[in-house]
């Protein structure tokens, strides 16, 4: 084992250094035993119910395990896997609506300190989901979580127009321009089971967050491992992906992704959060969910309003008195 690679640590300073130098860190004992117990129970119940009631989303059954593809008519479509197609892993989406135990993770003090350290004073929740990597699931293709970030360019060099980015095009962007974008995403993987090399522990390429390019398929990855209760934090630029699970048990994890407020979250919480969650949300949660206006962006009316609300009736056509 390379001892300079991140190990689970209780020290926030160590974690921040690991994140800066290696692109990931492991916060030890991030979850209490009680939290672990309740998270496992709620996730397992929810995942089973989603399967039974036809809502389950499965992936993890192909070697090219993420990305768009062209169908027979040449139309670009998102890749999805059903269990019948070989998808083994189960994703559970939008956990903000699926139990208080998931919402509590968002106010974890040590994690929030690390998020603020990397992303700054303001950020949004981009997604709050779970990945149950089941036995037989294959390794996910290495990717970054900010693949859409327009890369820095040189004066006079025409880059790809920022609105034309697609995962497919960015997978080809494996040559560094010698410049680098800042991290604008931070992904936290809460380990509900021990992560090992054989049970699908997330593969990472240490230091790849500083490469300035997208993953190349020959990159050597290692498994980020830790006992249940550890939180794995990944800089949005690091090359990573779910490992193959060759064990006989599921590897459960909650994945919480934050992004800076210039960018579009993966899950649209202003529409997709259930009203009962909003009814008890504090200002911090409302900000994470995108209800706080950021420098006049995200407004529905007056640019100097602080927050938006669903029940604000937008001003319409007016007729003078």
Ligand X SMILES: O=C(O)CCC(=O)C(=O)O
Q: Does 192 bind ligand X (CB under 6 A)?
A: no
* C-beta of 126 vs 291, nearer to ligand X: 126
Q: Does 230 bind ligand X (CB under 6 A)?
A: no
Task: For 119-133, give the DSSP string.
Answer: H-S--EEEEEEEEEE
Q: Does 242 bind ligand X (CB under 6 A)?
A: yes
Tell me how far, at minimum, the Cβ of 200 lies from ligand X, in Å.
6
Q: What are phi and psi of 306, to 5 degrees?
A: -90, -50
Tell me the Cα Rg of the chain. Answer: 20
Q: Does 131 bind ligand X (CB under 6 A)?
A: yes
Q: Does 244 bind ligand X (CB under 6 A)?
A: no
Q: Looking at residues 139 to 168 of the shown chain, list those that interact with ligand X (rule: CB under 6 A).
A: 140
Question: How many residues make contact with ligand X (CB under 6 A)?
Answer: 10
Other beta carbons less than 10 A from residue 34's beta carbon: 9
* C-beta of 140 vs 278, nearer to ligand X: 140
Tell me how far, at minimum, the Cβ of 98 lies from ligand X, in Å.
17
Q: Does 253 bind ligand X (CB under 6 A)?
A: yes
Q: Which of 144, 146, 202, 225 binds ligand X (CB under 6 A)?
A: 202
* C-beta of 108 vs 143, nearer to ligand X: 143
Q: Does 215 bind ligand X (CB under 6 A)?
A: no
Tell me how far, at minimum, the Cβ of 255 lies from ligand X, in Å.
6
Quote the CA–CA distance of 181 and 150 in Å, as a whole number: 8
Quote the CA–CA distance of 201 and 295 in Å, as a whole number: 39
CA distances from 127 to 188, 202, 212, 306 (A): 10, 18, 24, 23
The H or E element that residue 186 is part of is strand 185-191
Q: Does 245 bind ligand X (CB under 6 A)?
A: no
**CB-based contact 291:309 (threshold 8 Å):** yes
User: Locate tokens 């880059």: which residue?
Assistant: 159
Quote the CA–CA distance of 99 and 174 in Å, as a whole number: 40
Tell me how far, at minimum, the Cβ of 89 lies from ligand X, in Å.
8
| Contacting positions for ligand X (CB under 6 A) | 131, 133, 140, 189, 202, 240-242, 253, 255
């Amino acid at each position: 084992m390379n001892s300079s690679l991140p190990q689970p640590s209780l020290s926030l300073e160590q974690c921040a250094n690991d994140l800066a130098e290696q692109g990931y860190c492991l916060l030890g004992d991030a979850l209490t035993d009680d939290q672990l117990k309740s998270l496992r129970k709620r996730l397992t119940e929810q995942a089973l119910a989603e399967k039974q009631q036809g809502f389950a989303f499965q992936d993890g059954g192909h070697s090219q395990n993420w990305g768009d593809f062209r169908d027979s008519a040449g139309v670009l479509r998102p890749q999805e896997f059903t269990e019948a197609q070989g998808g083994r892993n189960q994703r559970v989406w939008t956990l903000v609506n699926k139990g208080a135990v998931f919402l509590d993770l968002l106010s974890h003090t040590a994690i929030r300190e690390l998020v603020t350290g990397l992303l700054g004073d303001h950020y949004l929740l981009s997604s709050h989901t779970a990945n149950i990597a089941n036995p037989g699931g294959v390794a996910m293709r290495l990717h970054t979580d900010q693949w859409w970030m327009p890369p820095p360019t040189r004066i006079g060099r025409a880059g790809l127009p920022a609105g034309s980015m697609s995962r497919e095009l960015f997978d080809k962007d494996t040559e560094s321009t010698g410049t680098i974008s800042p991290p604008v995403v931070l992904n936290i993987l809460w380990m509900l089971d021990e992560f090992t090399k054989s049970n699908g522990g997330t593969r990472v390429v240490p230091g790849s967050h500083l490469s300035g390019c997208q993953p190349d398929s020959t990159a050597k990855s290692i498994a980020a491992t830790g006992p249940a209760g550890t939180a794995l934090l990944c800089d949005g630029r690091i090359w990573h992906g779910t490992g193959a699970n060759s064990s006989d048990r599921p590897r459960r994890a909650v994945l919480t992704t934050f992004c800076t407020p210039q960018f579009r979250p993966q899950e649209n919480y202003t529409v997709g959060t259930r009203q009962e969650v909003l009814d008890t949300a504090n200002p911090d949660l409302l900000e994470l969910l995108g209800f706080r206006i950021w420098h006049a962006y995200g407004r529905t009316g007056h640019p100097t309003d602080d927050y938006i609300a669903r029940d604000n009736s937008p001003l319409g056509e007016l007729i003078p008195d």
